[in-house]
Amino acid sequence: MQQIGLNRQVFQRRSTAAVDFYRDWSEYKNGFGNPSQDHWLGNKYIYSITNQKTYQLRIDLRNSRSSSYYALYSSFSISDESDKYRLSIGSFSGTVG
């Protein structure tokens, strides 16, 4: 896999069942979990980050057999809460699907 850059922000990590991801709107807005473990950063923070400039989105996946895959989107942002944090993504490349 090719490295795309050094500045990365992990919005979600979900590697165990230790953190319950069945949460309400407020928790997805504000974030939950431990950033060094399983977590969701929080939609209001993701909005704040992604609306400063154009960013790429990379999603890394690993299955139970330790096979790794990735999806890369050329651009990524979410809108604010008044638009229900609507997702906008650019073109796709990668090894997923």
Task: Give 70-95 as a DSSP string.
Answer: EEEEEEEEE--GGGTT-EEE--EEES
Enter the pTM of the model. Answer: 0.83
Q: Distance (Å, rounded) from C-alpha 73 to C-alpha 55?
A: 9
CB 96 within 8 A of CB 69: yes
pLDDT in tens, 59-76: 999 888 889 999 999 999
Right CATH for 12-94 from 3.50.50.100, 3.90.215.10, 1.10.260.40, 1.10.3080.10: 3.90.215.10
pLDDT in tens, 30-89: 999 998 899 999 999 999 999 999 999 999 998 888 899 999 999 999 999 999 999 999
